[in-house]
Amino acid sequence: MSQQKSTTGKIAVVGERELAIGYNLLGIEDTFITSGEEASKTIQDLFSSGSYSLIIISDAVRASLPAIFRKKIEASIEPLVIFMPALEGNIQEESISVLAKRVLGISIPSS
């Protein structure tokens, strides 16, 4: 019998002050204002806790994560980890087809 990780449906947010406060105002209680090495440790703790179904991370924090760990969380479905672009500067959007491939593992043919 395989053992499957059970999550609670909770959401966590890790990133800059504006991102964390915005989600906190929406009612998400587990928000963490952090960056750099501290952010990496926080995300690793949240990811391995089994307490969260969704972890939202800012793109700035994503860039500071170790490459091996970043690849692991990008491929994760449980918990699902998504990255939010900064609210200022050059925002790069992830196309729907790339997002579907990364999150769902399916390819959407382009027209």
CA distance 16 to 43: 13
pLDDT in tens, 37-65: 899 999 999 999 999 999 999 988 988 89
Write down how long the chain is.
111
The confidence score (pLDDT) of residue 35 equals 83
CATH number listed for the domain at residues 10-104: 3.40.50.10580
| pTM over 0.75, yes/no | no
pLDDT in tens, 2-36: 344 555 789 999 999 888 888 888 899 999 999 88
The confidence score (pLDDT) of residue 14 equals 95
Phi, psi dihedral angles at 33 (to 5 degrees): -90, 110
pLDDT in tens, 71-101: 999 999 999 999 987 655 544 555 666 666 6
| CA distances, 73 to each of 10, 38, 46, 77, 111 (Å) | 17, 17, 11, 8, 30
